[in-house]
Structure 1
Amino acid sequence: MVDRANRPSALHAPSAAAPGPQVDISGSGASSRVTARLPSGESVEILLHGATVISWKSDGGEKENLWLSEKAVLDGSKAVRGGVPIVFPVFGPPPANHATSSLPQHGFARTSRWEFLGKSTSEDTVESSAVKLDFGLYSSNLSAEARKAWPYDFGLVYSVTLSKDSLQTVMNVRNEGTEVFEFQMLFHTYLRVKDITTTTLTGLLGVPYTDKVLNNTTSTQSTPSLSITSEIDRVYTSIPQSTATVLENGTPRFDIVRDNVEDTVVWNPWKEKAAAMADFAPQDGWKNMICVEVGTVGGWQRLEGGDGFEGGQVVKSLL
């Protein structure tokens, strides 16, 4: 792990006296997945394909917090529509004349098969129990096509920690070679909401953004609360506040806390764009989701040989 200040906190040592979280591995091949469940019922489910979180349930396992398309492809043949796909090493279409220019949109992490590295648990009490699941992806495990398109030696360790009311995702990127490389990284989180027309987002006041719906024009968030009234695809950069809050009808639903990353993408395809996506369902599913995507995408992170980078988020369920 990278030695830096304010890194995501480590779990407490487990106590043998308390009931422990359960971790199961199911499926085979591209559909293999890891499921963890706390003694109090909360759960998380992660495909090895893309290390994609496809379910996160809080409130004793009764409340699903993530939106997953009913037509999401889970057989490893394409990226998953919904949950928390991982964007690496490039966000969006790769720029021309850059080392990532031969890669597909959003890179290869979300379409590669990851290795499950194991779990660690905290079991001091039922209320404070947590489980951390680690996944790895390395240059040696890439497809020949991806390796040719981005021929750097790297190692990724992705940690997903389930607590009673929160989900933490942390990415550790390491340059395992001698050649410098640049990358972008983002957690493409689809949050489930009751009604996008009554959903607002706070924590972005005064932050500059690029509006991809309006031909990449730049502007600044001028209101403390962002309402979603049409298709939105904005990249907010260099955000000074660490926390953004999703509200439903004025009531806080999620806190999204960034750690060592400065950017956030806000996305909802709205009716017309959702209808054009073959793997988006139900057709009006855009009404029940908002993507608040934490990462480092406003520029490029540069890693010298042997160096590392670590950044992440904590999403807290408030209801």
Structure 2
Amino acid sequence: MVERPNKPSSLVATPGLPPQPTVNFSDDNSLVTATLPTGESITVLLYGATVISWKDSSSTEKLWLSSAAKLDGTKPVRGGIPLVFPVFGPPPAGHAQTSSLPQHGFARTSRWEFLGKSTSESSGDQQTGDLSVKLDFGLSSAADGLDPKGKAAWPFKFNLIYSVTLNRRDLTTSLVVTNDDERAFDCQVLMHTYLKVKDITNVTISGLDSSSYVDKVDAASTKTQSGEIRIEGETDRVYTADGPVIVSEGGKTLFTVTRDNLSNVVVWNPWVEKAKGMGDFEPKDGYKEMLCVEPGSVGGWQTLEKGDAFEGAQTIALGA
């Protein structure tokens, strides 16, 4: 990201217009925070373009972030919405293009460039107007912030544009991948979203009934979902499904996750023993207050020829 020694403390709307969203930068240019006039906000860490906070108008946090999460660029962030690209999970040994990459690729371990903001202004009452703010971030094979290990392990020319759009009742994240290389490349994309809940034992996940999934806790066996999902132990499943995924707690809808061009969704919770074994997962009983619902395209590979682009997005809506 280009340093701006004379940058303003915030980007604001034209004086005289109704209150509009604002965008503020941290003093060290590591964080970008966008706030709607009605109080909703998001905070994005330029390291990984990781959304680390999403609050509603009452300042209630909607994303889970480990209290031990590293925000200084020394390791991937545990919590929020880390980006997975160009490979999901441990790279498969038999896939030559990605076999040397670190787990989950390098998008989450690279410093992204903030490209700018755009807003949709309210045309009436703030409480009912159509308020939104969109933040755009970029990462390319030529970027100074690209993780050098990732660049060495995956020497393709590419361009990524990541957009984070905050509305009063929902959050949308979208990623566009463009192949700028002369060669075709394979890639996978996933948004590793950590949702915050009060008590995981009261949570149900619906919308995946009758869907096929790979159960990574049970030797990667293929199964079919029957009814709602309840988290009663370590859970790590890769579903292939259409339609929205609904997260409820105590019978009340907390989140509705819809996907655009992302055919998979991972449902993950580490539970007791796994959480104990992760050094950056704190508090150790934090698994009780989080649930990962991760839209992605990870069941196979997206093969992009020269000049091709792939776009995928998720929208997380609050309540029913």
> Same fold, TM exceeding 0.5?
yes
Match of 1:111 in 2: 109
**Which residue in the other structure is 1:265 paired with?**
266
CA distance in 2 between partners of 1:263 and 1:72 (Å): 26
- Is the 1:38–1:129 Cα contact (8 Å) retained in structure 2? yes
Alignment of 1:209-228 (within 5 A): 209-223=213-227, 225-228=228-231
Conservation of the 8 A alpha-carbon contact between 1:15 and 1:122: no
The answer for unaligned runs of 5 or more in structure 1 is: 1-13
- The amino acid across from 1:41 in the alignment is G
Opposite residue 229 of structure 1, the aligned amino acid is E
Residue 239 of structure 2 aligns with which residue?
236
Distance 1:108 1:16 in 2: 44
Q: Deviations over 1:179-207 (max 9, x none)?
A: 10010000000000010001000000111
Please give the TM-score of this superposition, normalised by the length of structure 1: 0.92
Segments of 5+ residues of structure 2 without an aligned counterpart are 1-13
Contact 1:43 1:61 in 2 (8 A): no
**How many angstroms does 1:28 deviate by?**
2.0
Q: CA deviation at 1:148?
A: 1.5
Taking the aligned partners of 2:60 and 2:136, their CA distance within structure 1 comes to 24
**1:136-175 correspondence runs (5 A):** 136-141=138-143, 142-175=146-179
Partner of 1:5 in structure 2? Answer: none
Structure 1 residue matching 2:164: 3-state secondary structure? strand
User: What is the RMSD computed on CA atoms of the aligned residues?
Assistant: 1.4
Matches of 1:15 and 1:121, distance apart in 2: 15
After TM superposition, give the deviation of residue 97 of structure 1 in Å: 2.9
CA 16–130 in structure 1, closer or farther in 2 if over 3 Å, else same: farther
Name the SS for the 2:142 alignment partner. Answer: helix
* Greater mean deviation of Cα atoms: 301-310 or 17-26: 17-26
Secondary structure of residue in 1 paired with 2:70: coil
Evaluate the alpha carbon distance shift between residue 16 and residue 258 of structure 1 in structure 2; reply closer, same or farther with a 3 A threshold: farther
Q: What are the within-5 Å matches in structure 2 for residues 1-319 of structure 1? A: 17-28=17-28, 32-58=30-56, 60-98=57-95, 99-125=97-123, 126=126, 127-141=129-143, 142-223=146-227, 225-237=228-240, 239-241=241-243, 243-318=244-319
Say if 2:213 and 2:224, in contact at 8 Å, map to a contact too: yes
Task: Verify the 8 A CA contact 1:15 1:124 in the aligned structure 2.
Answer: no
Counting aligned pairs with the same residue, the percent is 56
Are residues 276 and 301 of structure 1, via their aligned partners in 2, closer, same or farther at CA, if it must alter by over 3 Å? same
Q: CA-to-partner distance for each residue in 1:159-192, whole Å, 9 max, x for gaps? A: 0000001100000000011110010000000000
Q: Find the aligned partners of 2:27 and 2:153 in 1 and give their Cα distance.
A: 30
Name the counterpart of 1:6. none
- Rounded to whole Å, the distance in 2 between the matches of 1:27 and 1:312 is 30
Displacement of 1:130 in angstroms is 0.3
Is the CA contact (8 Å cut-off) linking 1:49 and 1:111 kept in structure 2?
A: yes
Matched to 1:21, the amino acid is P
In the TM superposition, residue 16 of structure 1 has moved relative to its aligned partner by 7.3
Which amino acid counterpart does residue 195 of structure 1 have in structure 2? D
Give yes or no for contact 2:198–2:288 (8 Å, CA) kept in 1: yes
DSSP-derived class of the 1:102 partner: coil
Partner SS, residue 75 of structure 2: coil
Residues 314 and 15 (structure 1 numbering): CA distance in 2 closer, same or farther, change over 3 Å? Answer: farther
Residues 80-89 or 124-133, more deviating: 124-133
**What is the rounded CA distance, in whole Å, between the counterparts of 1:303 and 1:66 in structure 2?**
32
1:285-309 per-residue CA deviation (whole Å, 9 max, x = no partner) reads 0000000000100010110100101
Q: 1:24 to 1:294 in 2, by over 3 A?
A: same
Deviations 1:131-179 (A, max 9, x none): 0000000001223322110010000000000000110000000001111
User: 1:148 aligns to what SS in structure 2?
Assistant: helix
Shift of 1:27: 3.8
Offset at residue 62 of structure 1 (A): 2.1
Greater length-normalized contact order (CA 8 Å, ≥ 6 residues apart):
1
- CA deviations on 1:62-117 (whole Å, 9 max, x unpaired) are 21100000010100000000000000000000011320000000000001000000
Q: 1:16 to 1:160 in 2, by over 3 A?
A: farther
